[in-house]
Chain A
Amino acid sequence: MSVTTLILLVLGLGLAGWLVARSRAAMFRRASADHRIAALPVYHGWYAALWIVVPTLLFALVWMPISEQLIIQHVLASPAAENLPAFGMQRETVLSEARMVATGAAPGVFNQDAAALVGPFEEAISRYSVIGFVVTLLVAGSGAAFAFLRLKPDFRARTRVERMVLSTLLIASLVAILTTLGILASLVFETIRFFGMVSPVDFLLGTNWSPDPMSSATNPDGSRYGAIPLFWGTLFIGAIIAMIVAIPLGMMSAIYLNQYAAPRVRTWIKPALEVLAGVPTVVYGYFAALTVAPAIRDIALSLGISNPSSESALAAGLVMGVMIIPFVSSMADDSIAAVPQAMKDGSLAMGATQNETIKRVLVPAALPGIVAGIMLAISRAIGETMIVVMAASFAANLSANPLEAMTTVTVQIVALLTGEGSFDHPATLAAFALGFVLFLVTLVLNIIALRVVKRFREAYE
């Protein structure tokens, strides 16, 4: 009995319950004097169907891992299991091989130990699938019985169904929140482990970043874990260079599109900008690493700067800025569009030109929204990984020269986690501490931005 058949069976039962309950309720309705019952027949149908399907699926969810364990127990209890290797990978290999043969996933055994176990496996699988099938039917039957016992003319099926739908919606919304909490918890846990090995002071204030995965894990050298150069590189590339590109260009394009562009032009340019937002960041990465970075190096050389880096912060920052333009532009566009027409009319009626109206009324009025957009853009830029991995350097330099190689938090996280370092080593755990800091910073930026946007909305409603 495969899982698919089981699911189809349960859904079939649910459908049957739906049809039967609905027609019974319809009968009640015909029988009643004024053709009124407490809920429409279709809600009785849904009530029965949900009571059949939901408990059964919940049971199946629980049963699957349990039956797995029971099968293994059964096989190990059989006399053939006595020859198994005691522990470790070998034992697992034999078991899984026997299992694959038993379920027909593999044609024959490779290991002779496994051959003896195929029989017990087949026996256990068939036994527990029968048990599972019977219990499933029982659960479905009792669910149906429960629902049908309550199927009466004055039963308020609609409110019950609505309540069930409501709880489903609630669970759906909780999933995202719980996932966030889970991510945070795992980050915090690993970060605490890291700070048990390296002092937070060294980490947050040190200026030398050169973790050595080969060094002794028990007595790490805290002075090699100074993350200031990474924080600086992140800020310099994501919040300074990228924003120097993105803010003016984004603002100007928003103003042009919102205030000056003819509708025909707007219908072309706006989607084009949105396409820019949809380009995978890895593609920007190629562009930064293969086109922009060498070009910047050549320009620097021709300007007489000796030995410029081919992995400059400038290249990564410029391309990231271009990537961010649509964010700034669309937030600014929305904010300017949200300024009431009355405000604009008021200014124009004073004899202000369109230019003066934009500069002195529209942009100041839209400023909170624009600032919020910029903050969201910064939080995206500093969390951006692919462009900097491809175009920025791995060398941690503390420098204000945009032509020098610099690294960012995200680049270092990638570098620390893609090695073969052990998860007990501070050089690996440092990635979690970096991630945690990044998470906190972007979280704070997002919260501020959302609050600003909210207050701004209230002002005009």
Chain B
Amino acid sequence: MSETADTTVKGSPLASQAQKSLADENVETGEPKMRARGVDVYYGNKKAIDSVDIDVYTEYVTAFIGPSGCGKSTFLRSLNRMNDTIPSARVTGTIELDGEDIYASGMDVVQLRARVGMVFQKPNPFPKSIYDNIAYGPKIHGLAEGKQDLDEVVEKSLRRAGLWEEVKDRLTDSGTALSGGQQQRLCIARAIAVDPEVILMDEPCSALDPIATAKIEELIDELRGRYGIVIVTHSMQQAARVSQRTAFFHLGNLVEYGHTSDIFTNPAEKRTQDYITGRYG
């Protein structure tokens, strides 16, 4: 049980309490899937993230909340090195996936992103058919041999994303012709198709209507346990609904990290309480 202490912020008054309730839940498996320690992210000379420690478990959905510009998306993108695409961005500290430092020089970023997938704020299906959207990842990673194999992967991914029934008769239609909610589920199916271990979701519902949002939230719940899921959200209700762990970011700092129920009912920090009661942000 020694690992459980790491699930909370070091030195936080919440630590002992979180440890106790983790034990109560009794689903702890030990090693976290991803482990971030002392992570700083800079854009040029500006420090966007200051010394963040977080653990991500496959068993839980982890939500990042916080006001706009607090760095939660920046930190999320550093978990699969998407920040590499921004020339001025620089990450220090360690982020481990199954104990392996993802910023180590030997780490192949292509392999990393196949293991840590990502879903974006705005649905971004490729301007290809629904089938080709899903088949894209398996093809580039050589995960499927032959057409039949690929068909299976496509069907399985669409089923897991809860989209199969809606699109099975029009797999050759363009992915961009789907509705916004369907597009976002297509993007989730696309991420699932390469069989990742962790899926990062950057405000996946912010461009969707409430019904589409409910479907995505349902989907997230179904995917929990199979994939480690980290979701950035602006909606505190959403964080409360879908996540078991919540991290509150403010001005580039991780203010508080712990059980979602604790964060929302009994936050240890004044700033957290002010934010969740709507006093700022």
State which residues 287-343 of A face B: CB under 8 Å: 340, 342-343
**Which of A340, A347, A364 is the most central at the interface, judged by chain B CB atoms within 10 Å of its CB?**
A347
CB neighbours (8 Å) of A346 from chain B are 120, 124-126, 187, 190
- Given A342-B122, A353-B110, A360-B140, check contact A348 B82 (CB 8 Å): yes
Ranked 10 nearest A-B pairs via Cβ:
A351-B114, A349-B118, A351-B113, A342-B124, A346-B124, A350-B137, A351-B110, A365-B127, A352-B140, A356-B140
Q: Are B127 and A350 in contact (CB under 8 A)?
A: no
B191 at the binding interface (Cβ < 8 Å): yes
| Cβ 8 A contact of A350, one of B85, B113, B128, B176 | B113
A365 proximity list for chain B (CB < 8 A): 126-127
A424 within 8 A of B: no
Contacting residue for B126 out of A347, A348, A349, A459, CB 8 A: A347
Q: How far is the CB of B142 from chain A (nearest CB, A)?
A: 11
* A–B Cβ pairs within 8 angstroms, 27 of them: A340-B124, A342-B124, A343-B124, A346-B120, A346-B126, A346-B187, A347-B126, A348-B113, A349-B118, A349-B191, A350-B114, A350-B117, A350-B136, A350-B190, A351-B113, A351-B140, A351-B141, A352-B110, A352-B136, A353-B110, A353-B140, A356-B140, A361-B136, A364-B127, A364-B128, A365-B127, A459-B176
- Produce 1/0 per residue, A357-380, CB < 8 A to B: 000110011000000000000000
A68 beta carbon closer than 8 Å to chain B = no
Best-surrounded residue of B110, B127, B137, B187 (most CB of chain A within 10 A): B127
Which bracket fits the contact residues of A?
A: 10 to 19
- As a 0/1 sequence over residues 184 to 221 of chain B, the CB contacts with chain A under 8 angstroms (1 = contact) are 00010011001000000000000000000000000000
Tell me if A345 and B136 are in contact (CB < 8 A). Answer: no
- Least CB separation from A361: chain B residue: B126
Please name all residues of chain B whose beta carbon is closer than 8 Å to the beta carbon of A340 when the two chains form the complex: 124
Contact A342 B136 (CB under 8 A): no
In the bound complex, how far is the Cα of B126 from the Cα of A345, in angstroms? 11
CA distance A352 to B125 in the complex (A): 15
Instruction: Return chain B residues, CB-CB under 8 Å to A364.
Output: 126-128
Interface string of B76-90 (1 = CB under 8 A from A): 000010100100000
Residues of B within 8 A of A351 (CB): 110-114, 137, 140-141, 194
Set of chain A residues within 8 Å of B82, measured between Cβ atoms: 345, 348-349
- Within B16-50, which residues are at the interface with A (CB < 8 Å)? none
A residues near B122, Cβ cutoff 8 Å:
342
A350 near B124 with CB under 8 A, answer no
Interchain CB contact under 8 A, A360 and B136? yes
Q: How large is the interface on B (under 10, 10 to 19, 20 to 34, 35 or more residues)?
A: 20 to 34
Shortest distance between the CB of B16 and any CB in chain A (Å): 38
Contacts of B117 in A (CB 8 A): 349-350
Nearest CB of chain A from residue B228's CB, rounded to whole Å: 15
Please name 8 further chain A to chain B contacts, defined as beta carbons within 8 Å, in addition to the given A346-B124, A346-B125, A349-B120, sorted by A numbering. Answer: A342-B120, A342-B124, A343-B124, A344-B85, A349-B117, A350-B117, A361-B126, A459-B176
Considering the complex, give the chain A residue whose CB is closest to the CB of B82: A349
* Alpha-carbon gap, A368 to B118, bound state (A): 28
- Find the residue from A346, A349, A352, A353 having the highest chain B CB count within 10 A: A349
- Interface digits, B125-167 against A, CB 8 Å rule (1 contact, 0 not)? 1111000000011001100000000000000000000000000
Which residue of A is nearest B119, CB measured?
A349
What residues on A are CB-neighbors of B124 within 8 Å?
340, 342-343, 345-346
- Give the CA-CA distance A364 to B126 in the complex, in Å: 9
Chain A: minimal CB distance from B79 (Å): 11
Q: Which residues of B contact A347 (CB under 8 A)?
A: 126, 136
For chain B residues 33-73, which have a beta carbon within 8 Å of chain A? none
A9 to B101, CA, bound (A): 83
Measured between alpha carbons, how far is A343 from B140 in the docked complex, in Å? 16
Distance A342 CA – B190 CA, assembled complex (angstroms): 14
- In the complex formed, the residue of B with least CB distance to A362 is B126
Which residues on B sit within 8 Å (CB–CB) of A345? 82, 85, 118, 120, 124
Residues of B within 8 A of A459 (CB): 127, 176
Which B residues between 164 and 187 are near A, CB-CB below 8 angstroms? 176, 187
Complex alpha-carbon distance, A43 and B191, angstroms: 62
Contacts of B136 in A (CB 8 A): 347, 350, 352, 360-361
Q: B208 CB to closest chain A CB, in angstroms?
A: 15
For A349, list chain B residues within 8 Å (CB). 80, 82, 113, 117-118, 120, 191
Which residues on the A side are within 8 Å of B111 (C-beta)?
351
